[in-house]
Structure formats: C-alpha cells, structure tokens
Amino acid sequence: MNRPYRRRITAAIALLSIALVLAWIGATPVPLPPALGTALNRPDPIVASAAAAKATLRLATFNIHSGFGADGRWDLMRTASVLRNFDIIGLNEVRGFPLGYGNMHTLGESLEMPWLFAPTERRWWFDEFGNGVLCRLPIESWRRTPLMGGRRGYGFRNVVQLAVRWNAKILNVLVTHLDTRDDRVAQLRALGELLANIPAPAVLMGDLNTFGGDSTLQAILHASGAVDAVGAKLGKPTTNRIDWILTRGLDSVNAGIEDRGASDHPLVWAELRLP
C-alpha cells in the first residue's frame, strides 16, 4: 500500500470516528437545569385582564403524544381543536424542533394563547422534549424544576410552577409528567410535599403515570388535603386513569374526561371556583 493511499484511509477512519462520536453525543438526552421567568410567550394584557376576573376557570391536562393521534397520524391542528375554550392547560410529551417552531409555538398561535415550553432534556443540541403550559391569565412568575431520577432512554422529568393572578389572589399551578419506572414513587412523593406546602389555592395536574388506587397517591391526598377535582365531580370511579387534576382550596363546578382520538391519552378537565 503506497503512502498517499494509506494517508487517505487514515483520514477517512478519523472522520468516521469523529462522526460516530458526534452522533452518539447528539443522540444522548441531557437533562436541563432549573429555569425561571416572569412572562409567557405572546402575552396579551387585554385578554389576560379579562380572564383574571372570571368567576370560574376551566383547566385541562393533556398528554399530547407529540401531536400524534390514536391513529398514528401527526396533526397538531387536531390537538388544538381539543384544547379550545380553556383558561389554563398543562401539556405533556411536547416537542421542540431545531430549525423551526415547536409544538408549543404552533398550539399557542393556533389557540391565540400565551404559552411556555418547559423542556426536560436537550438532544441533538436543542431543547427537544418536555412539558408545556398555555395560560390566558396574567402570571407573576414561572419556575421549571428538574425532578429526581430519570435515566437515558426513559426520559428526564420536571415540574413547572406558575403563580397565576386570579381575582386578586395568586393561584399556584403545578404541571408535570412523572416517570413510569422506579423513580415514579419518589417523584410523586416530592410533588405531594410541594402541593402540601405551597399556598392555596393550588392545582397539580399532569400525567402522573399513577392509577387512582395507588397507595402513594392516596397518602398524598390525605396528607395535603388535596381533592381529585375530576373524580369528585363525576361521582363515579375514575381509578383507571393516570392523568390527574388535584386541587387545594378550590371547588369543582364541572369536570370531564374526553377522548377524541387526538392522542393516546384522554383530555382531562375541570372547571374550578374559589370557595
């Protein structure tokens, strides 16, 4: 083998090695640190002021499955159609995109609602996956806090806390998506402590990956004085679901569980008022 040919082979191997290392680094999810702010994207002061004076609020939690429906078809406009006529919406399995608008921007613009993308992890050098919030009311602040645990291949987790201004009060809203594996119980306990200690009125909503009969969930409801806002209003067993709206210092006016095929999860919603 002549020397120039050997050099070309060596250079090709080196480039291939670099490409493989970069591919491995890019494909590996990296957890994101805490973050905080005082505003959502696309705020509208006039709309927010009117919403802040409403006697009741309609809240919803929805795992959007990145916009893929039960039929496997990706359609964010179908997702948006399920989310109309709510004041505060917590979303799970939300995607960002590297060279364009992510799920939250598209949904926020379609629904004409201020929005926040709260990514849990970075992949391929951009914020790729996490939770989201849509909120018509003005906010004092928002905070994104990583939850303990989370492993590569199974996703990292966080909780988003918003201080929402409503009828001269602060409504504390927690939005989260818990692990499906060993970290779930520890994450659920941490959220239970947070829900019990933040000032009421307060709401915890999201995909908890926890059924109603779970002993940890029942202990949290008992210790914190929280209420299953949906189950309490429907007046029938709802133990076979994993998406929850738990409240403290609020009364349920109405509630529902709706499955229109826009995701592999149903939409869970509640209309709430101050006592």
Q: How far is CA 80 from the centre of its chain?
A: 15
Total H helices, total E strands in the chain: 7, 14
- Gap between the Cα atoms of 143 and 158, Å rounded: 10
Please tell me the predicted confidence (pLDDT) of residue 111.
95
Please tell me the predicted confidence (pLDDT) of residue 85.
94
Question: Are 208 and 243 spatial neighbours (Cβ–Cβ below 8 Å)?
Answer: yes
- For each of the chain's 275 residues, which pLDDT tens digit applies? 566 766 666 666 666 666 565 556 556 788 899 999 999 998 776 667 777 889 999 999 999 999 999 999 999 999 999 999 999 999 999 999 876 689 999 999 999 999 999 999 988 766 889 999 999 999 999 999 999 875 544 579 999 999 999 999 999 999 999 998 778 999 999 999 999 999 999 999 999 999 999 999 999 998 889 999 999 888 766 678 999 999 999 999 999 999 999 999 999 999 999 99
Please tell me the predicted confidence (pLDDT) of residue 163.
98
- Gap between the Cα atoms of 189 and 95, Å rounded: 27
Please tell me the predicted confidence (pLDDT) of residue 10.
62
Please tell me the predicted confidence (pLDDT) of residue 196.
94
* CA dihedral of 222, 227, 233, 239, whole degrees rounded to 10: -60
Q: Which two tokens stand for residue 244?
A: 């929850």
Please tell me the predicted confidence (pLDDT) of residue 3.
66
Please tell me the predicted confidence (pLDDT) of residue 29.
81
Nearest to 243 by CA among 227, 226, 230: 230
CATH of domain 32-273: 3.60.10.10
Please tell me the predicted confidence (pLDDT) of residue 169.
95
Residue positions counted in the chain: 275
Please tell me the predicted confidence (pLDDT) of residue 180.
84
Residue 45: half-sphere exposure toward Cβ, Cα within 13 Å: 0
Please enumerate in sequence order all residues whose Cβ is within 8 A of that of 43, keeping only pairs 6 or more positions apart, or say none.
Answer: 114, 138
Question: Are 129 and 120 spatial neighbours (Cβ–Cβ below 8 Å)?
Answer: yes
Please tell me the predicted confidence (pLDDT) of residue 23.
54
Domain ranges for the chain: 1-28, 32-273
Please tell me the predicted confidence (pLDDT) of residue 44.
72
Please tell me the predicted confidence (pLDDT) of residue 113.
95
